[in-house]
């Protein structure tokens, strides 16, 4: 019987999972899948390690009305198809580790209670992240579960990057800039050491651009500052989230527009960003294909904010040796990359347009003052590595 670990990356409308074989230096991907469209158009898709389809099943909305039902369907599929494999641990992406956790943790009752106390800090994500942990603790209380935090990579920020300009007592109560997408940034930083050692130790800005988006400044592979702060609302605009916003807007909506905090939160998390700007869609692909001026404005707004964030992070670093694009938009939208870099032309960044359109790994033109790269991220592999290391089953160089 071969040992495997399960990695779960759960959100409010989808659950992604991967199964990895263990025993060597690196976890080996055996299969991966997702239950998407929870509560609306649920679908379970699974592929093997080589990308061949193993399952493509659609459900009625009533059959998978919520994350709990989705988790049970995923667990049942895995149990039926695990064969002679023995799941020895489960690693989970958990968005918020708060001030308590700076590294992955084995989940016990005390850890779970602490993580539940951070739900208000990441209401769009934390509850969905924790639900699979609860389900598996009921079904397999003997199974080790490891929580891997998106905030952990940013712990140890310089004070100037972590503080908010609020009274010290508020900071001491935990209101500070945490940063997110840390598992993605950690993976990309590791890949840079492998594929571009000449810049991996330098001044690098990574743009993690997906439905959630943020940027991170790295020096010698360590996070120095990032655009998301206390919550995952901050920074650049996203698919449905507003990004950085004058806090006076929130006060105005409550005091003069009659909105209560829950209504404001729902708008800022679910009806803003690219969706709010365009009135059309939160999906960059739809906006790029549209001829509506509102769609064009939303794309222009997004690219300008990403470029502005890149410039601001370069100030933190004292210069710039490379810009790296990653995640769904960063990896797959050459027009977004082109327009972002064009806005940074004053800083000497130059794009190789043919390489960019072809989806090459390196897309800077000769003479560019900084390298420009596209590096696919792999948060699930990062979680698998952390899980094995915490269980004492990883080789010493497994994350080198």
Three-class SS state of 24: coil
Q: Determine the angle formed by the axes of helices 109-116 and 126-139, rounding to 10 degrees.
A: 160
pLDDT score for 83: 62
Query: Which pTM value belongs to this model?
Result: 0.91
Region for residue 288 given its phi and psi (left: phi exceeds 0; alpha: psi -120 to 50; beta: otherwise): alpha
Assess whether 116 and 222 both reside in one domain: no
Q: How far is C-alpha 205 from the chain's CA centre? A: 16
Could you give phi then psi for residue 197, rounded to 5 degrees?
Answer: -60, -20
User: Is residue 334 within 8 Å of 351, Cβ to Cβ?
Assistant: no
Classify the C-alpha dihedral 130-132-133-137 as positive or negative.
positive
Assess whether 368 and 228 both reside in one domain: yes
Assess whether 143 and 278 both reside in one domain: no
Assess whether 68 and 203 both reside in one domain: no
Measured between alpha carbons, how far is residue 371 from residues 60, 210, 322 in Å? 48, 21, 4
DSSP letter, residue 362: B
Assess whether 130 and 203 both reside in one domain: no
**Where in the sequence is the domain holding 358, given as residue range(s)?**
198-374
Please give the helix or strand (H or E) that residue 160 lies within, else none. helix 159-162
Going by C-alpha positions, the residue among 37, 38, 27, 13 that lies closest to residue 90 is: 27
Three-class SS state of 30: strand
Region for residue 156 given its phi and psi (left: phi exceeds 0; alpha: psi -120 to 50; beta: otherwise): left
Domain boundary among 127, 149, 171: 149
Residue 187, domain member (yes or no): no
Assess whether 92 and 8 both reside in one domain: yes
Q: Determine the angle formed by the axes of helices 293-317 and 334-342, rounding to 10 degrees.
A: 60
Domain count, the chain: 2
- The catalytically annotated residue of 63, 108, 150, 172 is 150
* Burial category of 158 from C-beta neighbours within 10 Å (exposed 0-12, middle 13-18, buried 19 and up): exposed
Going by C-alpha positions, the residue among 150, 151, 145, 152 that lies closest to residue 131 is: 145
Per-residue pLDDT 10s for the chain (400 aa) are 578 899 998 866 678 899 998 877 788 999 999 888 787 788 999 998 888 888 899 998 888 887 778 878 887 888 777 665 788 899 999 988 988 899 999 999 999 999 988 888 777 788 878 888 888 888 888 999 999 999 999 998 999 999 999 999 999 888 999 999 999 999 999 999 999 999 999 999 999 999 899 999 999 999 999 999 999 999 999 999 999 999 999 999 999 999 999 999 999 999 999 999 999 999 999 999 999 999 999 999 999 999 999 999 999 999 999 999 999 999 999 999 999 999 999 999 999 999 999 999 999 999 999 999 999 999 999 999 999 998 885 544 444 3
pLDDT score for 126: 84
Residue 272, domain member (yes or no): yes
Respond yes or no: is residue 150 known to be catalytic.
yes
Residue 84, domain member (yes or no): yes
**CATH number of the CATH domain containing 300:** 3.30.420.40
Going by C-alpha positions, the residue among 237, 233, 190 that lies closest to residue 209 is: 237
DSSP letter, residue 153: G
Assess whether 232 and 370 both reside in one domain: yes
Assess whether 91 and 213 both reside in one domain: no
∠ at Cα 193 (192, 196), nearest 5°?
Answer: 60
* Nearest-angstrom CA–CA distance, 12 and 240: 14
Give me the helices (H) in 46-205, please: 67-81, 109-116, 126-139, 159-162, 168-172, 182-195, 197-200
Q: Which residues, at least 6 apart from 50, have a Cβ–Cβ distance to it below 8 Å?
A: none
């Amino acid at each position: 019987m071969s040992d495997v670990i399960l990695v779960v990356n759960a959100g409010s409308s989808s659950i992604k999972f991967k199964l990895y074989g263990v025993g060597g230096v690196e976890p080996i991907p055996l299969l991966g899948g997702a239950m998407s469209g929870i509560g609306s158009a649920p679908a379970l898709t699974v592929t093997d390690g080589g990308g061949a389809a193993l399952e493509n099943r659609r459900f009625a909305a009533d059959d998978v009305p919520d994350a709990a039902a989705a988790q049970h369907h995923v667990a049942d599929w895995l149990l039926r198809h695990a064969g002679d494999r023995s799941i020895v641990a489960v690693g989970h992406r958990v968005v918020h580790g708060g001030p308590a956790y700076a590294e992955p943790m084995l989940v016990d009752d005390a850890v779970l209670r602490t993580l539940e106390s951070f739900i208000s800090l990441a209401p769009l994500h934390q509850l969905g992240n924790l639900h699979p942990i609860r389900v598996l603790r009921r079904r397999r209380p003997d199974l080790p579960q490891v929580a891997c935090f998106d905030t952990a990579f940013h712990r140890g920020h310089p004070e100037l990057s972590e503080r908010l300009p609020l009274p010290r007592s508020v900071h001491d109560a935990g209101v500070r800039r945490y940063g997110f997408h840390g598992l993605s940034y950690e993976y990309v930083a590791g890949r840079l050491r492998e594929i571009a050692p000449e810049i991996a130790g330098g001044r690098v800005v990574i743009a993690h651009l997906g439905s959630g988006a943020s940027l991170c400044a790295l020096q010698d592979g360590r996070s120095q500052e990032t655009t998301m702060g206390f919550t995952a609302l901050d920074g650049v605009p996203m698919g449905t989230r507003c990004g950085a916003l004058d806090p006076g807007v929130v006060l105005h909506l409550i005091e003069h527009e009659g909105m209560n905090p829950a209504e404001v939160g729902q708008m800022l998390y679910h009806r803003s960003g690219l969706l709010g700007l365009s009135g059309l869609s939160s999906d960059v692909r739809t906006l790029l294909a549209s001829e509506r001026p509102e769609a064009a404005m939303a794309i222009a707004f997004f690219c300008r904010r990403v470029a502005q964030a890149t410039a601001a992070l370069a100030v933190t670093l004292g210069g710039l040796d490379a810009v790296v694009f990653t995640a769904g938009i960063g990896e797959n939208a050459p027009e977004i990359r082109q327009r972002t870099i064009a806005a940074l032309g004053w800083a000497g960044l130059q794009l190789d347009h043919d390489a960019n359109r072809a989806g090459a790994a390196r897309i800077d033109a000769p003479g560019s003052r900084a390298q420009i790269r596209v590096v696919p991220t792999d948060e699930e592999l990062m979680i698998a590595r952390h899980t094995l290391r915490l269980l004492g089953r990883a080789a010493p160089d497994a994350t080198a």
